[in-house]
Structure 1
Amino acid sequence: MVRKWLLPTLSEVLAKAEPTGIDLLVPEFNPPDSQPTTDVRQQELKAESQWHSAIASVETLLLTSLPSPIGASELSEETVIEGLLITAPLPLFSHPAIVSQLHTITFTTPHVNRQLLPCQSPGRSRNLDLTHHFPIELLLTDPLADERFCLVLTQQFSLVVVLGEENGEPRCQFSFDPDDLDLAWKSLRGRIMLTAPEHLAYLDELAAQFSPIEPDYRWVMAFSQSLLAHQPVAQLAPTQQPVEVPTKVAADVELIQALTHEIRTPLTTIRTMTRLLLRQPDLSPRVLKRLSAIDRECTEQIDRMELIFSAVELATAQPSQAVDLTTMSIGELLEQSLPHWQQQAERRNLNLAVAIPHKLPAVVSNPTILDRVLTGLVENFTRNLPSGSRIQVEVTPVGDKLKLQLQSQSDDDEQPHTPAQQRHSIGQLLTFQPETGNLSLNLNVTKNLFHLLGGKLIVRQHVQQGEVLTIFLPLSTIAQS
């Protein structure tokens, strides 16, 4: 019988607090001959890279916010303590301005070399009062001992960064949300009560003095920008051969990768701040509606950038990096996606009619990527329709395939359908619609994505219906037997 700890780990705190506790959007690099990103080792390397970028960014924020001059060589024992810093399993910062001005707690285990802890760390001034630096030992059975984290509480900003696991997968998360930080402190306080109760009263006093504060958007933005500045530069190992990609496509890939990250990072910051505001009490209906609209638009743009980034990776992948296909429930995917599609249609004054059998057979595809591709396809489809149009979604089994079709009908069946808005190609992978500002994957890339997902996309133009999109997905042999 597996015993569940009463006190949650910090990864569990942020996972339950999502979406305000968010994943780091630091780019990953998959060498041409590496395993797919679902490989556990690849996920570990990605999370580790994100952790180092985040800690470097925290240090940048601290050096910016602390009042003593950066690089000061003489810091006296009278230096005022400006905040509380809690880390594990070792101290994370050695800069004198940080070490002297923050009260530091290091959660550790019996296996950690005691000589690495702050009180006995070499190279520090003998005249510096280090009584505000001490370790707290975790129990060996505590799952928190398997995590790395950094909790910062200052007068300027509050932040928590955690490297741990969720559902068995390595994951790095951060949050500026005061509620998340309060829960994180309560989780750590419970550990102090278990193993170092003699420090509890003093630390409660400190935690009250530097209690989590509502974040100023400038600190959140500075952290996001610093993440980009500290991201690792991908390099091919000497033994690896470069990917054979045409020069033009290679240039497109570099542009798109840079573009998607530059767009996702500020949008994620805006969405985080918006969701923090949405949690404020007594918001007027008008403000609530506008904040919800900002959150929705940011999410849609972030999802679009995720789709474009994933598509580019798949479009330039080696055959050994084939997409993992598995038997999946298309019924469950549609049940989750249809409410979002309905909202998209309603915002554009479109009517969405759905004809789906009560029970659908299983198909073979990749559920995560298929969901992104279908949502992107429906969004582009709805953007090209005039107000008042009707969209018919039909799903039917046809032989050994499942057929999903989208077609539109205008209010006046006698009136020919207006052609889709003019689309301009950007390189060989993207299209742009000046009328709407919509950036999306071009048709060939989208068709290739469905091919990689085990399916097929057919696009036809009709005078009355406009574009008709037909998607075929292979039925699972298990479902057919």
Structure 2
Amino acid sequence: MKSQITIKKIQDLLIKGLQTVYVNDDTSRRMWWASLEVIQKDFLSKNYKQGGIWVASPLPAFNDKKFLNQLHGWLWSPEGFPYFQNENAGFLPVNNTDKIKKDFELVSNYKVLNLCQEDGYEPFLMIITPNFQCILSIAGEKDKKILLMKCDEESLKLSIELMHAKLNQENYEEGVKFRNAINNLGNLNINNQFEQLFWPILSAKLASIAPNRNIQNSVKNDEKKVQITEAKLLRAISHEVRTPLATIRTLISSTLKKYKMDESMKNRLIQIDNECNEQIDRFGLIFNAAELVSNEVTSLNNLAKINLAEIFKKLSPLWNKQLNRRGISLKIDIPNQLPQILSDSEKLELMLSGLIDKNTRGLKEGSTLILELRPAGQKLKLELKIQKLERNQKEILKKDIGSDIGPVLNWNPQTGSLQLSQNATQKLLASLGGHVTKRRDTGLTVFFPISDSK
């Protein structure tokens, strides 16, 4: 029986015998984004029109639509990233039909396959065109990474054959398409000068990212630019996720009103509608956090007096329904006549739903979520507690074993759970007037400022 071909195995073979300098995770990320910009701007832009193929993991590496539209691709993406699935592409709700067609062609020009744990989660990109070819990847252990760039004939041949074998193992039909696409390119013109040009251009790019006055300022400014770039990309993705889901909800609503159907079919459509609505809210929250990180909004803007207890009463039926589907109970403990707080009502509603989702992920059936509001001096204290139903004891929340991917998201590869990072959660709550603390025994505590009684 043949051994399984994984992306990590391909990376390991390419790095074998390579002598290089190791860098930490943050530096490798900066090098990766700078390398992508150099490759697209200085090399691929001159060679993509003849057609070609690309293979990437765990995200599409291109930021220009013309490359995605012109080149055929294969993307290995984690199951936690469903927004890359092609079936959503035809539901983009825009008025211009030509743009719908163009966007559909953009998304459907690459095949999405499931990334397994054995593949690893380090970025990988292979580009093959008649006159330009390269393999780019980050490899190594935590804070001991290297930027891998290969363009020699031996490495290209090895990677093409292994990718073909991987596709054959996982999806034979796509393996045939991949081999046909490679054959259609004919004899490849290996550009031996590319490597000699790439590294000096990349060095110049990295050197120009930050001012020369101070090394520490250089690093901080560089990291901030990377964060803003990633946040803007995430905002765009969040928008593209929510729009087709909103269209699906509209179609479901229309179908339920227009057609008669049996109860089981009706319940299925309602369940799909509920799931779509939850995902719209989740990505709306991600959009708000990305907007804040990219400095598109100012902290503490548009804060007004609101009644937090009323918000809880308004949203508790929805929270109850969502938690009951997972076998989790909700208990709300709110005394009468609580003071008003200063916050943004619309965004706070989204944030509260996000906190409940984030802090109940992975809970066993039979658990209880307790939401408690209490005055605390000049602040109003919100506590989220988890309680085991059978023993009536507080359950220590499981430590988040996920890892931050960029400035906004935290992703757990074992469960596929995609949530706001702790840092993004704190920043978003701060912009809404809140201050968050997480304690081992009680889960989560948020303090909101009480508005003036005038």
TM-score, normalised by the number of residues in structure 1: 0.47
* Larger Rg computed on CA atoms: 1
TM-score, normalised by the number of residues in structure 2: 0.50
**Which structure features the higher share of helix residues?**
2
